[in-house]
Amino acid sequence: QVQPVETGGGSVPVGGSLSLSCAASEGSFSGYSVSWFRQATGKEREFVAGSKWGGGTNKYYLDSVKGRFTFSRNNAEGTVQLRMNNLKAEDTAIYYCAVGRPILSSLRQVSSYGYWGQGTKVDVSS
């Protein structure tokens, strides 16, 4: 059993920055892949960024956030971060930390993750 908990959401103007963090309040991320997803009002949940456990240093991003968002994982501390720069209004959503054991081809699929945080809201105002 793993229970991820997100922190760091908030409200920023367009062009601003935020950092999100995810840690396990129960269990550990060791042996699991951890990714960030987001869900905007009226839209489906979508993959934002992540990496596969045992997949080396490769990181994967939603095309629209490449060059603006940075995913990182600190295994020693048991945390995962998402640094978001140059935020746009369309980045407004609830951001979720997801934990699971997906195969690489399924890394971006919601159904590949069995443990989810409660989410943290990011509001980017124009």
Residues 9-19 pLDDT 10s: 999 999 999 99
Q: What is the DSSP letter of 8?
A: -
The predicted model gives 38-47 an average pLDDT of 98
pLDDT at 7: 97
Q: In this structure, are strands 120-125 and 10-13 parallel, antiparallel, or unpaired?
A: parallel
Q: What is the DSSP letter of 114?
A: E
Average pLDDT for 50-66: 92
Q: What percent of the chain has pLDDT over 90?
A: 92
Residue 91 pLDDT exceeds 80: yes
Q: What one-character-per-residue DSSP string does 62-113 give?
A: -GGGTTTEEEEEETTTTEEEEEE-S--GGG-EEEEEEEE---GGGTT-GGGE
Please report the pLDDT score of residue 31 as a whole number: 93
Cβ atoms < 10 Å from Cβ of 34: 24
Cα separation values, 37 from 28, 69, 76, 89, Å: 19, 13, 23, 17
